[in-house]
Structure 1
Amino acid sequence: MGETDARLRPTGGIDDPPIRDAATAIVLRDAATTPRVLMGQRGAGAAFMPNKVVFPGGAVDPVDATVPLACPLAAACAARLQAEAAPAMADALAAAAIRELWEETGLILGRPGAWPGPAPKGWRGFAASGHLPSPEGFHFIFRAITPPGRPRRFDARFFLVEAEALASDPDDFSRAEDELSQLQWIPLAEVRRFDLPFITEVVLAEVAQLIRGGLPPASVPFFDNRAPVSKFQRLA
């Protein structure tokens, strides 16, 4: 998960770190037959969720709001993302999910195209692949804020996208950085035998339900931990 600066929010207590916007990419493969999701293991020395098996994702970089997207987000997806954020944050969250997927797995969610100018730091490798980042097929399916008392706190939005949207070989992780190890497509039926964060287990249950019920979701679960007392909501 990226360690760069992002928009700061009030914390749940005076000793808590700031809450940073973050985005996660849940890439789904073979949804109609044997559904699998792309996951990897965080390092033992990671400050946040060490050793846990997670989806690719991380904090929003300020430059994520400036990169050119190959297409706009679906209207319903953008509207839900903007419910408590500035309009530009919707595109920044989608871009961050695409960037984190690229950095942590080497996979490309993009369309062939030339950038209008030099790519900013963090995006240069992606731009060199000859693609513009594309949120085509993105579904905003979950939001969760890290509870107080954790060493790092994130306001994470989870995007589900099918592997058919990838512009690269889904089994080629050769361009991945070393933030996640043991990258693999894990069958949903087997994923709970891995060491997962609690919130990841909850999100996976939502993914399984969406596979059965269809997309886009009718509403988006939101675990709101901004205050000491947790609240569960559904974003319409």
Structure 2
Amino acid sequence: MDKTDIRDAATIIVLRDPHRAPAVLMGQRGKDAAFMPGKFVFPGGAVDTNDAMVPITPLDKLHSKRLTEESHLTPQTLAAAAIRELWEETGQIIGHKAKWRDAPKGWRGFATAGYQPNGAALEFFFRAVTPKGRTRRFDARFFLTRADDLVTNPDDFGGAEDELAHLQWVPLAKARNFDLPFITQVVLAELGGRIKRGEPASSVPFFRNDDEKNLISRLGNRSLL
């Protein structure tokens, strides 16, 4: 698979009230967006160079190990990108109180709020490469976190930038009523299984979207067809 035009990306699934009325934080991309216009998506986007320069609480060792498979980026960089995208697109913060000097571009607002990113709150959940032929292609790592790990008011999106409209907590039972990308539907199905099991899966699904065969493998496990 030619990876020269594929950008590394990070996406974050924030799960609220998983036991009684599970819902996830989503927003709608603009109708004129170059990538997935008009679709309801999780917060996320491309990894920035500066994401490798921030102080971040490490992820759990198991998730860190899985993130290193077939990746040139560190787990901390990928987790930081997911937390930054959540902050930019929703105004929500996953972090811990700490002073932070000389924050790089893209992180200054986060630092001014008085927090450093908390990677320990994230679970590596899913990975997928955008199929060939799309206007933009990403190798996206999906992270799962709980609304309880937000240090901000989960219903206040006043600090969000304007990249996503109609920010809201979408009940899992009603998510398929929204205009979703195919891969988001797959991730939501995986999340439903995760909630039903009540414990993490033994491996992480990886949709490779290979040109020759759309191989589905599981990081930390044997390949499946």
* TM over 0.5, shorter chain: yes
**Residue 108 of structure 2 is aligned to residue 150 of structure 1:** no
TM-score by length of 1: 0.90
Whole-angstrom distance in 1 between the partners of 2:15 and 2:63: 18
Q: CA deviation at 1:226?
A: 4.3
Letter of the 1:99 counterpart? R
Alignment of 1:200-219 (within 5 A): 200-219=184-203
1:90 aligned residue: 75
Q: CA deviation at 1:229?
A: 2.9
Q: Look up the SS of the partner of 1:49 in the other structure.
A: coil
Whole-angstrom distance in 2 between the partners of 1:45 and 1:228: 31
1:106 aligned residue: 91
Is residue 148–residue 228 contact of structure 1 (8 Å, CA) maintained in 2? no
**Residue 175 of structure 2 is aligned to residue 191 of structure 1:** yes
Structure 1 unpaired stretches of 5+: 1-8, 12-16
**Residue 127 of structure 2 is aligned to residue 140 of structure 1:** no
Deviations 1:182-236 (A, max 9, x none): 0000100000000000000000000110011123321111100243432111112
Letter of the 2:49 counterpart? P
1:6 aligned residue: none
Q: CA deviation at 1:144?
A: 0.3
Q: Look up the SS of the partner of 1:176 in the other structure.
A: coil
Whole-angstrom distance in 2 between the partners of 1:99 and 1:83: 22
**Residue 73 of structure 2 is aligned to residue 78 of structure 1:** no
Letter of the 1:83 counterpart? E
Structure 1 range deviating more: 136-145 or 220-229: 220-229
Q: CA deviation at 1:89?
A: 2.1
Q: Look up the SS of the partner of 1:24 in the other structure.
A: strand
Alignment of 1:1-236 (within 5 A): 10-11=2-3, 18-69=5-56, 71-86=57-72, 88-115=73-100, 117-236=101-220
Q: CA RMSD in A?
A: 1.3
Whole-angstrom distance in 2 between the partners of 1:33 and 1:207: 15
Whole-angstrom distance in 2 between the partners of 1:10 and 1:202: 24
Structure 2 unpaired stretches of 5+: 221-225
Q: Look up the SS of the partner of 1:147 in the other structure.
A: coil
Is residue 136–residue 165 contact of structure 1 (8 Å, CA) maintained in 2? no
Q: Look up the SS of the partner of 1:189 in the other structure.
A: helix
Whole-angstrom distance in 2 between the partners of 1:217 and 1:48: 30
Whole-angstrom distance in 1 between the partners of 2:210 and 2:85: 24
Is residue 63–residue 120 contact of structure 1 (8 Å, CA) maintained in 2? yes
Whole-angstrom distance in 2 between the partners of 1:230 and 1:191: 26
Deviations 1:48-87 (A, max 9, x none): 0000000000000011011001x2100000000001123x
Letter of the 2:55 counterpart? P
